[in-house]
Amino acid sequence: MQEPLRIAFRNMDAPAAAEDDVRQRAAELERFFDRITACNVVVEARHRHHRQGVLYHVRIDLVVPNREIVIVRDPPEHHAHEDLHVAIRDAFDAAQRQLQNYAREMRGDVKSHAAPAIGRIVRLLPDKDYGFLVTDTGDELYLHRNAVLGKGFDALRVGDSVRYVVHEGEGEQGDQASTVIPL
């Protein structure tokens, strides 16, 4: 980091073990992205409740090239954040995921989704609750009544165009169309 790590504890005394934990986890973040400019961490003890202990709130501000990444971990409903180290761990785990996503984005490793497959209904057997569609390569795929969305299987006619997803090896005879959407 170009700037030194800044840690602040609010509404509580700063336990040495917690400060060491924050320093160690901040250093580990640089393994995932080595161009972090600054890291500011705020650990806050929220108000005491009558029946529960103190819930900890952790905020991490990371400055990286062209962006500021903010991670906020508020106390969850299940009260796991009554443990200070769990709250710190959860916040830094979230920071790590966001840094990894940012690094992928910077490298250009962005997910690309394939164009949806389009087929045409070639046979329907309504009394047996299935039919077949033909793909753009000429292969036939089995489709079951339960796979058809929209108006449903009963609205399909031979020759209708559909968009579908292939589940390889799902059916007894091999590949099967699922999530079939009439066009």
Which whole number is the average pLDDT over 41-67? 82
Q: 24, exposed or middle or buried, with CB in 10 Å at 0-12, 13-18, 19+?
A: exposed
Q: Which of 68, 70, 90 is nearest to 79 (CA)?
A: 90
Lowest mean pLDDT among 13-17, 31-35, 172-176, 177-181: 172-176
Q: What is the pLDDT of residue 83?
A: 85
DSSP annotation of 163: E
Domain at 117-182: CATH architecture: Beta Barrel (2.40)
| Residue 171 confidence class, pLDDT cut points 50, 70, 90 | low
The amino acid at residue 182 is: P
Q: 48, exposed or middle or buried, with CB in 10 Å at 0-12, 13-18, 19+?
A: exposed
**Separation of first and last alpha carbons in the chain:** 53
Q: What is the pLDDT of residue 78?
A: 54
Rounded alpha-carbon distances, angstroms, from residue 3 to 35, 63, 74, 107 = 11, 10, 26, 24
Reduce the DSSP state of residue 182 to 3 states and report it: strand
Reduce the DSSP state of residue 67 to 3 states and report it: strand
Chain Cα centroid distance, residue 33: 19
Which whole number is the average pLDDT over 44-64? 79
State how far the Cα of 100 lies from the Cα of 182, in Å rounded to an integer: 38
* Residues 131 and 141: beta-carbon distance below 8 Å: no
pLDDT digits (tens, 9 = 90+) for 117-161: 899 999 999 999 999 999 988 888 998 898 898 788 999 999 999
Q: Which of 146, 179, 174 is nearest to 162 (CA)?
A: 179
* CATH 3.20.20.70 at 6-107, yes or no: no
Rounded alpha-carbon distances, angstroms, from residue 93 to 22, 28, 168 = 12, 10, 34
What are the structural domain ranges in the chain? Answer: 6-107, 117-182
